[in-house]
């Protein structure tokens, strides 16, 4: 017998399931998949299998989506237009399961642009990057060298965004094809902000911008992308899982501070 829920109890039960990572509803009526008869394939002249050349490959679809993203991004003359273009881009399936587009936060005139991986639950809810536990640690990290997302001058301001503007289901890592699809928007984002340096937080950001993974190897070493100096760092979420990494993160922050002053 199905229990009767009032509004408060039903809302609490739903929030509890969301906390567990549920992201898909199931029909109340069960479906017996064994009752679905598979279609018998016909071979020969009367075959009901279409020619292979007529079936669009996954790679072709991904390439066309990236091409469309490139065209849309190239037409954006400012950040507001870029955000609007990303909002109407419907070729990334992550958009269908997300609550909000997470575009950016901070001062677009900042010298430092931070690029993270993808929104989590808190970011998806608020529509802003790095606002959960990892985001609070990020704020403390850069506050230690006199920088913050609410900074009013180019010297103390930060500008923060992500590779992916929508939350992946259950906070999984973005798939390579999803990164490829959204990369034209990220590239245009960097061009419009035109920072003095980019800080890449974690492997996904390094994969998107540098085409390489292995954050333990990459962190702490200056490189460049899109004609901008780049510093890879451990993602704040990794620091929350392993406190020993905070020593390396502090060394990287001091390196960033020294380069800004120099």
CATH at residue 195: 3.40.470.10
Mean pLDDT across the chain:
88
Any domain includes 33:
no
Decide if 215 is inside a domain: yes
pTM: 0.78
Question: What local confidence, expressed as pLDDT, does residue 2 receive?
Answer: 53
Give dist(CA 221, CA 232) in Å, integer: 7
Domain membership of residue 166 (yes or no) is yes
Q: Among 26-40, 44-58, 175-189, 200-214, which is the least confidently predicted range?
A: 44-58
Is 194 within a domain?
Answer: yes
For residue 70, pLDDT beyond 70: yes
Q: At which residue do the structure tokens 């989506």 appear?
A: 65
pLDDT of residue 32: 65
Q: How large a percentage of the chain has pLDDT more than 90?
A: 74
Answer yes or no: is 127 within a domain.
yes
The residue whose two tokens read 């392993």 is 242
What is the rounded CA–CA span in Å between residue 166 and residue 92? Answer: 9
Q: What are the DSSP calls for the chain, one per residue?
A: -PPP--HHHHHHHHHHHHHTT------SS---GGGSPPPPP--STT--SPPGGGS--HHHHHHHHHHHHHHHHHT--SHHHHHHHHHH----THHHH-SS---EEE-TT-SEEEEES---HHHHHHTSSS-SHHHHHHHHHHHTTT-BTT-SSTTTBEEEEES-SSPPGGGPPPPHHHHHHHHHHHHHHHHHH--SEEEEESHHHHHHHHS---HHHHTT--EEETTEEEEEE--HHHHHH-GGGHHHHHHHHHHHHHHHH-
Domain range enclosing 136: 58-261
Residue 45 placed within a domain: no
Q: What is the pLDDT of residues 186-232, one digit of tens each?
A: 999 999 999 999 999 999 999 999 999 999 999 999 999 999 999 99
Is there a domain that residue 7 lies in? no
50 — pLDDT class (breaks 50, 70, 90): very low
Number of structural domains found in the chain: 1
- 173 versus 58: the higher-pLDDT residue is 173
Question: Is residue 30 assigned to a domain?
Answer: no
Quick check: 52 pLDDT over 60?
no
């Amino acid at each position: 017998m199905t229990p009767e829920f009032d509004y408060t109890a039903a809302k609490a039960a739903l929030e509890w399931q969301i906390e567990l990572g549920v992201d898909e509803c199931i029909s109340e009526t069960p479906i017996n998949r064994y009752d679905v008869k598979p279609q018998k394939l016909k071979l020969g002249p009367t075959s009901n299998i279409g020619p292979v050349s007529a079936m669009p490959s996954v790679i072709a679809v991904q390439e066309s989506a990236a091409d469309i993203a490139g065209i849309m991004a190239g037409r954006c003359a400012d950040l507001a237009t870029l955000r609007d273009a990303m909002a109407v881009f419907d070729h990334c399936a992550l958009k269908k399961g997300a609550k909000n587009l997470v575009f950016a936060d901070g001062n677009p005139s900042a010298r430092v642009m931070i690029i993270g991986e993808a929104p989590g639950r808190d970011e998806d809810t608020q529509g802003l990057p790095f606002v959960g536990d990892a985001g609070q640690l990020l704020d403390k990290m850069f506050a230690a060298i006199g920088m913050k997302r609410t900074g009013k001058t180019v010297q103390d301001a930060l500008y923060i965004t992500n590779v992916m503007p929508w939350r992946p289901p259950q906070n999984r890592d973005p798939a390579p094809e999803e990164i490829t699809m959204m990369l034209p928007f990220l590239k245009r984002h960097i061009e419009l902000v035109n920072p003095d340096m980019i800080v890449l937080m974690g492997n996904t950001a390094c994969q998107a911008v540098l085409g390489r993974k292995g954050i333990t190897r990459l962190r702490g070493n200056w490189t460049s992308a899109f004609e901008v100096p780049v510093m890879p760092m451990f993602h704040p979420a990794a620091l929350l899982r392993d406190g020993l990494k905070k020593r390396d993160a502090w060394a990287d922050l001091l390196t960033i501070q020294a380069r800004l002053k120099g």
